[in-house]
Structure 1
């Protein structure tokens, strides 16, 4: 018999609060339904001491409270340490190729995203990489032949420490450790598209976000877990900034397995192009399409 793990503790609000309990109920109901909306009795929020504004993703229709699936997964505070959209900075600073970009917000610290994935029956966690704690793991992963083929960073520990230090110091890059049920599984780099090398190869918008990723631990490979972390990281990137309408990527054009995983959640291969070091596939995932077709 399959044993279903409980949802991860919400990061944004106090666990057990009426709002968190309602969000958890709605998350479960959406998971059990293929429908795009749910309804609650009009008096339900008042009984819980809540308002439509507290719920953040609902409206009234003929006396019923209606919650849209896409709105719920963009606004409920179950998964991110901060309420969706709070980490937004203002002002413009000079960018590459003469294109200005917004001033980027401070990077999160520690674990900043958790989501229980029902398909893989694991909790996906994202935390900011700590050089002292994670360098040995990063060195081990990069020197795995399977990883080195795509990343080409099979170098010494000192060289990889320099590699990570540059990224830690760069306000447009967030180095991340991904985990399953608290066990470190792989490495991610989140970046702002306009400041990345990719930004020169397409018409980047100021809030485009992108990522690179690897699963370093072979025990965490497999269809369900790979699908879980790609869906989770994309979810986080859209949650982190409400102005991000597109998540981009540039995997090797011959990375057929990765391209196969991204299609079902809205990633589209725009074209192939040549970086100095590889033939790449330009990938785009639009916010509206992701939240229309992704199932959590």
Structure 2
């Protein structure tokens, strides 16, 4: 009797977990394995894939200047946007970590850009803000700086408009930082004040060390997110990555290879290189975190 009951419990468990298992196999594992296979083929959606071995990877590394241009642009974007976004998010979190009236309203207002910042509508708006007759030039005109430059149309500044948009979407990181600040005991600050430590010293000796695990978490999330940025670059450059490929992010170039030139095999190879590179960078961040992340409970990782 007990054995039958256990068997029934197993069946019920499998039934309830079946949607997840089927979804994982069909929508995650199968596409991953398929893309790995396609990366070694010549496939254009209209014909059966033909095996070409390492040809896609060889072409990528040795015979595609635009590929390396997209790598260079993406690295510049990640290196600039991630630190600026985290620094801005931490600064705002420190300002909002106060007990004042209406603080919840302020927090909601600062988080709002993260809800709409990645949308197509905001990306379109961004093209108007940084256009030759946009809000930025109008604001500069108030201070006597007359310019009719299109910041998006200038190869020297186009990427910085995307970086600015990324920094503007700091809300999610800010909330995580704010949660971390709430968990720092106030006794530490009171004791440091008694010992004569000023605000700057308390920030570097208490806040940053105790917040370092949160910084690590945000750093990894935002780094991965930055490498995958697509919508702003596509909308701002009208899908071309211009001007002069200055906004040709890796994900945008991958999209062009796949859905404009129908080189699905080549695009799959690009995707796997991206996966490996992001994995290596994440591993490096984890390994180097031993040098700067402080865990209060044990003092070590």
Instruction: Provide the TM-score with structure 1 as the length reference.
Output: 0.29
Max radius of gyration: which structure?
Answer: 2
TM-score (structure 2 length as normaliser) = 0.28
Tell which has more relative contact order, 1 or 2 (C-alpha 8 A, sep 6+).
Answer: 2
Instruction: Give the structure with the larger helix fraction.
Output: 2
